[in-house]
Chains A and B, each alone.
Chain A
């Protein structure tokens, strides 16, 4: 890197710093109002409000309550963007089969041993983030992407042969992803089905009893609040995201000799 590039980098950084100082000092108008907006106040009051459950999500974390309860349908379509793109990846690489014994020994024994210690910790952290989504920051997507890092780490440290040999093939990951997606769908219509059986009204993505529909999901497990549907949504979303992102990584890391059969098949279409 020569002097000219260094001068350009420093001057860009200086410009950003001066701009940040100007905005921070209120030079371009007020940044944020000092008092809470009415919408924020109503969410803060109603997120966990056992005295008025027809407006409450009974979740201790406001972000998860908004994401999966108040705006549940938005989140469903938002995550289906990811799932549709993974279906696209699986469709483009259809006919692709993993093969064992294509070389690759992984990294040294020291790295492998320390990764063996780290692997269960990452898995437990991911599951914990997912199932505590309604109590602490985090949720299904966060926990799922934590777990998806595990397959990336394992394929780098232990080699792809180890990952495929241990049973994490793309067809199994596709099945896990489908189980997660079916779980999300069935959680969202669970109360509707129950309402049809019991002869009362219920809404899609309903969590707690609302006006005109008295049904609500179980909100306590032993001595812990579960947030009704939020626990199930986070659990199944974590499964679907972890399996989906792992599948995308596994399919994109294909070797040349693995696609030869699929290429032979596709010539038939041309």
Chain B
């Protein structure tokens, strides 16, 4: 593989690790949903670099559009802050 795509994948992977850590540690559930969406965006970039465009097309709407929407609905019906 060439250097440029694999370094894009490496940077996206690092970003996803940081976003995952912040999502797990966050006490504010709404912020955790946003961090989780950031992590999904980084994963979508990795899938694209690894030549899986079919997965990218289903991963973006589900993980950035529908899943955060359902999670936000769930937070609205329960509690926003983890005690």
A13: interface (CB < 8 Å): yes
A249: interface (CB < 8 Å): yes
**What A residues does B8 contact at CB under 8 A?**
none
**A141, B17: Cβ atoms under 8 Å?**
no
B4: interface (CB < 8 Å): no
User: In the assembly, what is the distance between CA of A57 and CA of B54, in Å?
Assistant: 18
Closest CB of chain B to A267's CB: distance in Å?
Answer: 21
User: In the assembly, what is the distance between CA of A20 and CA of B6, in Å?
Assistant: 11
**What A residues does B10 contact at CB under 8 A?**
17, 20
Interface size class of B (residues with CB under 8 A): 20 to 34
Residue of A nearest to B21 (CB): A9
**A17, B57: Cβ atoms under 8 Å?**
no
User: In the assembly, what is the distance between CA of A129 and CA of B61, in Å?
Assistant: 13
**A252, B57: Cβ atoms under 8 Å?**
no
How would residues 239 to 264 of chain A score, 1 for a CB under 8 Å from any chain B CB and 0 otherwise?
A: 00000010011001100000000000
Residue of B nearest to A129 (CB): B57
User: In the assembly, what is the distance between CA of A20 and CA of B58, in Å?
Assistant: 26
**B14, A17: Cβ atoms under 8 Å?**
yes
B5: interface (CB < 8 Å): no
Closest CB of chain B to A113's CB: distance in Å?
Answer: 21
Q: How many A-B residue pairs have CB under 8 A?
A: 64
Contact of A148 among B61, B73, B74 (CB under 8 A): B61
A137: interface (CB < 8 Å): yes
User: In the assembly, what is the distance between CA of A39 and CA of B60, in Å?
Assistant: 30
**B66, A148: Cβ atoms under 8 Å?**
yes
**B54, A63: Cβ atoms under 8 Å?**
yes
User: In the assembly, what is the distance between CA of A207 and CA of B54, in Å?
Assistant: 22
Interface residues of A in 91-123 (CB under 8 A from B): none
Contact of A156 among B21, B54, B62, B69 (CB under 8 A): B69
**A152, B65: Cβ atoms under 8 Å?**
yes
B13: interface (CB < 8 Å): yes
**A8, B21: Cβ atoms under 8 Å?**
yes
A73: interface (CB < 8 Å): no
In the complex with contacts A12-B21, A20-B13, A245-B66, A142-B54 CB distance below 8 A: yes
A45: interface (CB < 8 Å): no
**B70, A252: Cβ atoms under 8 Å?**
yes
Q: List 17 A-B contacts (CB under 8 A).
A: A9-B18, A13-B17, A13-B18, A20-B10, A24-B6, A129-B57, A137-B53, A142-B61, A145-B66, A146-B57, A149-B66, A152-B65, A152-B66, A153-B65, A156-B69, A252-B73, A253-B73
Given contacts A1-B22, A153-B65, A252-B74, 17 further A-B contacts (CB under 8 A): A9-B18, A16-B13, A16-B14, A17-B14, A137-B53, A137-B54, A137-B56, A138-B54, A138-B57, A139-B54, A142-B57, A145-B58, A145-B62, A145-B66, A146-B57, A146-B61, A152-B69
Smallest CB-CB A-B distances: 5 pairs: A137-B53, A149-B65, A142-B57, A145-B61, A152-B69
